[in-house]
Structure 1
């Protein structure tokens, strides 16, 4: 009875197959129940042997009727559910049909060829564009269920696909179909493992690309033809079948018969039979992959024999196979003629050389004799030149060596004159003394110049390059020249500078003093300027004046020895013309650049370019800046003077006593010891000459004194020796160095500075 239970109403409809099976089961059960019911009724009515009681029969019939009713209701309910299921199935079929139609419409609307394969890669559906490819090729369209490999092989074997290749920058395959259309095939997998294949038409893109390539090739071919047509050689390209695939105008004009181009023809039809057979071995060698070069004689269009240089260069494809060769033919007839002419000329020249050689041999013997005589004369001239140079050098060294002796009397005269200038005489006597002082100044200047130029030529003066501050040097030079400028009614302006430079301070000062002296000497009115300009790594020291100027063609002459330029309106010059020559020699020695510029009638500018430096710690005692204290007396300072020249000792005594000093003079240390006891006698300063008699020096004398005293005495060493070795030695000893001839004003400034800076030594 369980199979006869009705189906619950809230049970969801089963799929179409299960509903049909259930309906069939219910109908079978219903049929069996009707048969049972009919059998029972017949049995009751027939009055069998064991006939039930009437009531029992009625009751049984009622039960059967109830069961029939229940089964009938269940059957009705099943039939209702079946009708609902049929309606749902019909709606599903309609939706499926609609979806299929929409899919077909969508596939048909695609402009590209479309093919859909299932997860077994069997064809399910395709659009009309895909089927049109097959119809155009006259091939049967693959039916649904055909696998993808069969479809591909059928397309290849039927001729539908003419060409296949892969693009380098694309995932798809590009195909050329039998309808001359290019398509790009791309594959995409579906979610359930199937495959979608699209065939996109790229014919327009291919045609555009092909057009661009053709245009580029045509442009390249045009340029190649332009170039080759202007080359004076025969150029061609021959294919593997020995046909001419390219040639320039020269080649075409040479081998074109009756104006007909040889392009596209085989060489056997272009050349004569005899020429073709002569060239065939070399052409076969080029087709074998070798490069061939050979000379060849052939006739031109006018029947003349020409010498041709032929070159065959093999052309290989990507697989390394020879697909042709390049031809380059050059006409070397004129070159051959020139070579023959040169060969003939060479033979003639050899004959002429042999003739001339015999003549030259005789001339050479005569020349050798003349050369020997000239060599002897040159040797004598060289000896004379060397003797002259030795004499000049000897003269130069002599002047440099005797500078001390020359300056000794001048120094004494300067001291005596300075002492006289400080005395009170009558106007006439004072005028004479001033005249003598002026004359001594001129003599000192001329003699100092001669000595300086001699020392520079002899190489006695060596630069002592150190780093120092320009401030003191420029201040001292400006003060020295200030009085000279005022005496000439000129204005000297000075722009100070604290730059640190690398140079020899004394030699650099000599250059600047010469510039300023010349500016004062040649400027009659106006002003003079001393200043500095900084440049990259250098300082340029400049002296400007408002003098008459120097002609442009004379600017290079002013640095020559004994060369003086006398501008119009300038004062008479008492010099020797050696000042700028000395400046030039000093600048070359120091490696400094000297420049001069001038405008006639407006003035001149002289400059020296000095490199910047950096101060370094120094152990030696440096000479302090000497300051003139004109109104300050030396206050009875005790000074010892040691000089081997008695006149200088006397002149120094007179000069110093005029400055209120107590002076003891001696020509040697022994004479000084006879006058006093150097160990205990009070003294404030020692003035010593470097060169004394009997190979004794002032340094030795001062050292002997200071070694025996409790406190060393300050020393001023006076000398006419300008060497760097001596200057460095004096500095290391801690002494102050002054060069002869001593200028009284500078001497007084030095004494004031040194005595005021040290406590006076009494013992």
Structure 2
């Protein structure tokens, strides 16, 4: 606002102002006029400052009557409402309620709050723009009273962007909630599915458990059946082998000798097959427990030499055994099973040539080796020979063809004993099988070697045989009589005592079957006969029982054992050993 100079004031103006301010006198004017001018100028400056703030403010500002239009508005409010200037806005808005508020029905509530509180801060509403659209704003409103009635002054902030952000955030929240709901629904569905799968799995697991239990029970039943069947099968097989061995030692016509030999081979095949099936079943069921002891290696080698020398002579193959004076730690029965299989294969696949049983020192172990000069095994077949029912067909194979369980049994036994096995072969040159056993430093009592016993004369030696199978008694009697023994047979100790010992017979040896009638055992039979005789008669147990419990009992009672089917060579060697005078046996 432009100031007027003192010259522009008319005498009447001066007189009016001076009269109003009490400056009518000459002296008063002279004393107060400069001060008055300064005050007027100060007021004018203040007015201009507020005017500038009003016109340049970023937020809209307006004054309005409750019942009429706008009194004043600044440019910012004009821009917010889409007008070019405040004058255009004020001229077109004749009523705050209908001309400025977008929702006219909101005015009564706004007015009621204003009269109740006298002011409103942050009141959000929508104003009507020139084009008829709405703009979101926030109002700070004050009520002022004047002589014309109620007056309200307001500051207006455009919150369009904030509203957009809020709406976007709201939309994002709604989308998030929708995604959460969808994901929750999906998880609930998956959870139901998982619960169903768990229930189905439980049903399947229960069915599998029942199937496993049934399978285990079937295996136990199979084992019991095999154990019972083995005894029943081995009894007649044992009797037949003994009878055939008796015939082999007799002088027969050439054609009869041929027939006896064929019968012998058939029985040998049946014996090997049955033994293999029983062994592999018991090994798979962990029913075989090793009995590790210190064993003189030469004893094992010479036992094998005695057993396989007739085989070598029959097949015109040279057998050479190179032992060692060292002791080894192993299970003698199981280790003999491994070496016996190696030797059987060597003779089976070597029609002519040499077989060597030897040993090499490997640190604190001995590698027991079986070499042959047979056709050898192709390299791509070396792994297959240890599989069940796998055999290598050779045109040079001699003797009976097996069923392919021997080396599978060897592998299981070697694993159980922790005795690594090894094979090397050169096609056309031969094969070497070996098993590695630990050296033992334990002292072993002297054992009578096989070559010291096989040629002993058994003529006239009284031997008592106790067995509950009549066929076994007949065959054992025939074989022992073939060796010129005096043989006494009985089905139980009571019959032996009543029939022979009470009549003065003094047996020098007892051969007793382990399983007798009425759940009696051969061990009990030996005790009863010894008790009646009054002296410690040498005795041995002949049985098809291969259980760890039985072996432990025989070992505790110091009773030698022969497993059925009994091989005549082993039987004669054992009888010779047991009938040795004490001083000779100990030497």
Matched, 1:625 2:449: yes
* TM-score, normalisation: structure 2: 0.64
Q: Which residue of 2 aligns with 1:422?
A: 249
Query: Tell me, what secondary structure is at the counterpart of 2:403?
Result: coil
Q: Closer, same or farther in 2 for the Cα pair 1:663/1:479, shift >3 Å? A: closer
Matched, 1:519 2:362: no
CA–CA distance in structure 1, aligned partners of residues 415 and 502 of structure 2: 46
Question: 1:541 Cα deviation (Å)?
Answer: 1.0
CA deviation string 1:23-52 (max 9, x = no partner): xxxxxxxxxxxxxxxxxxxxxxxxxxxxxx
Q: Which residue of 2 aligns with 1:288?
A: none
CA deviation string 1:568-607 (max 9, x = no partner): 6545862121111111121122121122233334333221
CA–CA distance in structure 1, aligned partners of residues 470 and 399 of structure 2: 37
Q: Which residue of 2 aligns with 1:586?
A: 413
Paired residues for 1:289-300 under 5 Å: none
Is the contact between residue 302 and residue 450 of structure 2 (CA under 8 Å) also seen in structure 1?
no
Query: Tell me, what secondary structure is at the counterpart of 1:442?
Result: helix
Q: Closer, same or farther in 2 for the Cα pair 1:625/1:717, shift >3 Å? A: farther
Question: Structure 2 residue aligned with 1:717, among 523, 541, 554?
Answer: 541
Q: Closer, same or farther in 2 for the Cα pair 1:492/1:362, shift >3 Å? A: same
Q: Closer, same or farther in 2 for the Cα pair 1:396/1:718, shift >3 Å? A: same
Question: Structure 2 residue aligned with 1:544, among 364, 371, 380?
Answer: 371
Q: Closer, same or farther in 2 for the Cα pair 1:460/1:380, shift >3 Å? A: closer
Question: 1:718 Cα deviation (Å)?
Answer: 1.2
Matched, 1:487 2:309: no
Paired residues for 1:394-409 under 5 Å: 394-409=221-236
Q: Closer, same or farther in 2 for the Cα pair 1:458/1:400, shift >3 Å? A: farther
Q: Closer, same or farther in 2 for the Cα pair 1:678/1:414, shift >3 Å? A: farther
* TM-score, normalisation: structure 1: 0.50
Structure 1 unmatched runs, 5+: 1-347
Q: Which residue of 2 aligns with 1:639?
A: 463
Paired residues for 1:88-99 under 5 Å: none
Paired residues for 1:135-154 under 5 Å: none
Q: Closer, same or farther in 2 for the Cα pair 1:603/1:351, shift >3 Å? A: farther
Matched, 1:688 2:512: yes
Q: Which residue of 1 aligns with 2:576?
A: 752
CA–CA distance in structure 2, aligned partners of residues 579 and 755 of structure 1: 34
Structure 2 unmatched runs, 5+: 1-174
Question: Structure 1 residue aligned with 2:392, among 565, 582, 591?
Answer: 565
Q: Which residue of 2 aligns with 1:361?
A: 188
Query: Tell me, what secondary structure is at the counterpart of 2:561?
Result: strand
Question: 1:642 Cα deviation (Å)?
Answer: 1.0
Question: 1:534 Cα deviation (Å)?
Answer: 1.1
Higher Cα Rg: structure 1 or 2? 1
CA–CA distance in structure 1, aligned partners of residues 394 and 176 of structure 2: 66
CA–CA distance in structure 1, aligned partners of residues 528 and 250 of structure 2: 36
Question: 1:756 Cα deviation (Å)?
Answer: 3.6
CA deviation string 1:321-378 (max 9, x = no partner): xxxxxxxxxxxxxxxxxxxxxxxxxxx9999677544434334433433443354244
Question: 1:721 Cα deviation (Å)?
Answer: 1.6
Matched, 1:666 2:490: yes
Higher deviation after alignment, 434-443 or 672-681: 672-681
Q: Which residue of 2 aligns with 1:463?
A: 290
Q: Closer, same or farther in 2 for the Cα pair 1:403/1:472, shift >3 Å? A: same
CA–CA distance in structure 1, aligned partners of residues 563 and 367 of structure 2: 28
Q: Closer, same or farther in 2 for the Cα pair 1:695/1:623, shift >3 Å? A: farther
Matched, 1:442 2:266: no
Higher deviation after alignment, 515-524 or 357-366: 357-366
Paired residues for 1:147-166 under 5 Å: none
Q: Which residue of 1 aligns with 2:239?
A: 412
Q: Which residue of 2 aligns with 1:20?
A: none
Q: Which residue of 1 aligns with 2:24?
A: none
Q: Which residue of 2 aligns with 1:91?
A: none
Q: Closer, same or farther in 2 for the Cα pair 1:604/1:703, shift >3 Å? A: same
